[in-house]
Amino acid sequence: MACDKDHSQTDFTIKDLPINQGGFGRHKCPACAYEKGVENGTRRILNFNLEEYISSLPESQEGNRRHRGPVEAYTLGFFHGFNGANNHLVIKDKLRMASQMRDFGLYMVAKGAVNATFSEQGIPYAHAMGVVHVAHGFEILIKSKIVEEHPLLIFSKIPQESNTEDDEIKVNDLLEYGQTIMYSELPHRLWAATGYKIADLKMYNEFGKIRNQIIHFSVPEISLSDLTLKYTFQVVEKAVNEWWDTTILEYASDYDEAYCESVFEQLARLNIPINYRLSEDGHKFEKLQKE
């Protein structure tokens, strides 16, 4: 059965959803799914059999809906609906939260990059710690970017009304009753919230697996230094450049004044181009002009 509803307004909202032709949502109407998400988000309905609902939807491949994922559409609609009046205390304070997360994440990534750039001589496991710092730091940065849109978007589990006081969700409520989404799920949530796609999703996932191996099992016998520098400057740096018009180098130089000279040598060796260079006076970083 084909969907015959008027989704003219919704179609514009879901037109940039990712292509998804697999699973139980194949060819199902994403506009219907989005509108149901808005309804459930507005009504705070959290216990909902999404697979059963989407499986029952009519099919639709019309115009902007063609091959758009209904699960992604529902998720986007839910958070648009949940956002609602935008009056919770945690939402009102979102810019301060996002700013603090951003600064902390940038310094953590920078510390990991410094560890990865220099030799481990005299500093045991510096390269392994670099992996952990960069992976965790970028996770915080992604969440910071999502929080700029809406703090609750980084949570897979949020407080129930019965767990809050005065019908206000506060930071302490999130800490006690909330649960943030996993590292592997962040790229999709980032895209849904901001439209940004991780530069190299395969590298992102592989780097996360190595981080997990280090903190849960053992340090792998591979060149963690090169791996971390590639990930930092081919994935993380690109995001930081676009999101906040800054560079990891600004933060890394706070840890070691000699860092920039060393890292540029390493980046040249690895054939990794970046968008910034050190100014002639050596006191600041300049963004390269695109040709």
CB contact at 8 A, 16 and 68 = no
Q: Which has the closest alpha carbon to 230: 265, 259, 266, 255? A: 266
> What residues have CB less than 8 Å from 121, skipping those under 6 apart?
none
Rounded CA gap, 217 and 182, in Å?
19
> What residues have CB less than 8 Å from 81, skipping those under 6 apart?
37, 38, 39, 40, 41, 42, 43
Angle between helices 201-216 and 224-231 (to 10 degrees): 140
Tokens read off for 132: 């952990």
The CA dihedral of 228, 185, 178, 173, to the nearest 10 degrees, is 70
pTM over 0.75: no
CB contact at 8 A, 234 and 111 = no
Q: What is the 3-state secondary structure (H, E, C) of the chain?
A: CECCCCCHHHHHHHCCCCECCCHHHCCECHHHHHHHHHHHHHCCCCCCCHHHHHHCCCECCCHHHCCECHHHHHHHHHHHHHHCCCCCHHHHCHHHHHHHHHHHHHHHHHHHHHHHHCCCCCCCCHHHHHHHHHHHHHHHHHHHHHHHHCHHHHEEECCCHHHCECCECCHHHHHHHCEECCHHHHHHHHHHHHCCCCCCHHHHHHHHHHHHHHHHCCCCCCCHHHHHHHHHHHHHHHHHHHHHCCCHHHHHCCCCCCHHHHHHHHHHHCCCCCCEEECCCCCCEEECCCC
pLDDT at 139: 95
CB contact at 8 A, 8 and 48 = no
pLDDT at 85: 46
Task: Please list the pLDDT of the chain residue by residue as tens digits (291 residues).
Answer: 788 888 777 777 777 677 666 677 777 888 888 889 888 888 888 788 888 888 888 887 676 667 678 888 888 888 778 766 444 455 556 677 788 889 999 999 999 999 998 888 878 899 999 999 999 999 999 999 988 887 777 776 665 554 455 555 555 555 555 567 788 889 998 998 888 999 899 999 999 999 999 999 999 888 999 999 999 999 999 999 999 988 998 898 888 877 877 888 888 898 988 887 776 665 566 677 665
